[in-house]
Amino acid sequence: MTLIKSISGIRGTVGGTCGDSLSPLDIVKFVSAYASMLAKGKQSGCRLKVVVGRDARLSGPMVEEIVCGTLRACGIDVVNASLASTPTVEMAVVFEKADGGIILTASHNPRQWNALKLLNSRGEFLNAAEGAELVEIAGREDFVYCDVDSVGTYVEKDFTDAHIQAVLAHPLVDTEAIRARGFKIVVDAVNSVGGVVMPRLLEALGVECVKINCEPTGQFAHNPEPLPSHLTDLCSMVASEKADLGIAVDPDVDRLALVCEDGTFFGEEYTLVSVADYFLSRVQGPTVSNLSSSRALRDITEAHGCTYTASAVGEVNVTEEMKRTGAVIGGEGNGGVIVPDLHYGRDALIGTALFLSLLARSGKKVTEVRAALPQYCISKNRIELSDKSLIDRILNGLKQLYASERITDIDGVRIDFDARKMWVHLRKSNTEPIIRVYSEAVDAESADALAKEIIAAAMRIIE
């Protein structure tokens, strides 16, 4: 497996040959490059500080030791949050007035994966230009380490309670209404850090919490991506426990998936849509999601008299567009909710608290909330090709073929058939000769049919 260097960090499987996995040498190299980048922007003689945190995957403690040791060897003071969610580490960078942060998580990837996710002094992910600079510095390998008198200091701190208190203090989180409802909620945290964080949040909100897979052992009980096929136990438990709601988070707790009180899946795309509907009913302003996310957010936003904008795929791209437009809420259709007046990062804790506020204030059941939202279905497909050179031919050909429709090409090609409330988004893989095809329509049959139409047109282009 090739080491993947992308806008979302340095990612790979643990174990194997250096350069073909996330090996200890790779970790040292990229952390040293990150330290070099931070040092460039700091005045001579000033100490640098970096916050480090990780999810519960098996390789976490080993990677944590290497990362902390490398930072200290570069003369950087380390604040180790240790077992902490991704949004917690992002906020900890700000709490500590640190120069950056490193999160050790491969998010929804299986247990053999890990990654270095790198933050700036605002607790936000590096952008594409900064990521390219990091890779270039790492490639040179001309690092300078400090002398013995300048080795960085080390301290351990737990920031989870500070994160929870910030969530509870958000003006749209109605803690009194939530406590008054006496909710019972089942939580599936896939044996990672969510098993520590989410029950603490729910307890602070006065919610009865039924826990499954909440021991942070790193032995993921199922595929860690929070999709319906992976959450059958959660769905069954919600129904059997007569719970008000089911909650699933991924290993680093930046994605939130919901299960209705009858055990049916709420729909990962609708986490952001429902929370945004509640948010916009109280605070007016623009919204943003990425090009592969549901049209439902646009519908909800416009129904509130506000403006919606789509960004390229990737959390960094979403947050940059949110800043450009002054968005009050945004995120991604994978269950990622971003509330900028808390922090610019996907955060399952604020997503949960806002959704519970919606439930508590409305008095509705989760199925009733879902039924009141715009109804769409997304179909996910892909085109496998023999040669990566064919990808651009297909994308350019489709732009010409569907030129009469609304075309967006900031990230692959998205074609909006506005008259039919349908769209299709084609994105190329960074590593394989594959085009991913996402299509959405008012029902599953129409979404599948649109995907088949576009794929057939793509094949004709290269015949």
**Quick check: 3 pLDDT over 80?**
no
Q: Indicate the pLDDT class of residue 2, thresholds 50, 70 and 90.
A: low
Q: Structure pTM?
A: 0.95
**Quick check: 271 pLDDT over 90?**
yes
pLDDT per residue over 137-196, tens digit each? 999 998 999 999 999 999 999 999 999 999 999 999 999 999 999 999 999 999 999 999
User: What's the CA gap between 311 and 308, in Å, rounded?
Assistant: 10
Beta bridge partners of 438: 380, 425
pLDDT per residue over 34-65, tens digit each? 999 999 877 666 899 999 999 999 999 999 99
**Quick check: 8 pLDDT over 80?**
no
User: What's the CA gap between 88 and 86, in Å, rounded?
Assistant: 5
User: What's the CA gap between 95 and 200, in Å, rounded?
Assistant: 20
Lowest mean pLDDT among 21-25, 200-204, 220-224, 352-356: 21-25
Model pLDDT, residue 430 = 76
First-to-last CA distance in the chain? Answer: 32
Model pLDDT, residue 18 = 64
**Quick check: 262 pLDDT over 90?**
yes
User: What's the CA gap between 263 and 244, in Å, rounded?
Assistant: 10
pLDDT per residue over 339-391, tens digit each? 999 999 999 999 999 999 999 999 999 999 999 999 999 999 999 999 999 99
In order of 77, 102, 204, the CA distances from 73 in angstroms are: 10, 16, 39
pLDDT averaged over every residue in the chain: 95
Q: What angle, rounded to 10 degrees, do the helices at 24-40 and 128-140 form?
A: 120
User: What's the CA gap between 53 and 30, in Å, rounded?
Assistant: 16
**Quick check: 76 pLDDT over 80?**
yes
Model pLDDT, residue 288 = 98
Model pLDDT, residue 20 = 64
pLDDT per residue over 91-136, tens digit each? 999 999 999 999 999 998 999 999 999 999 999 999 989 999 999 9
Closest CA to 164 of 65, 85, 231: 85
What percent of the chain lies above the pLDDT cut of 90?
90
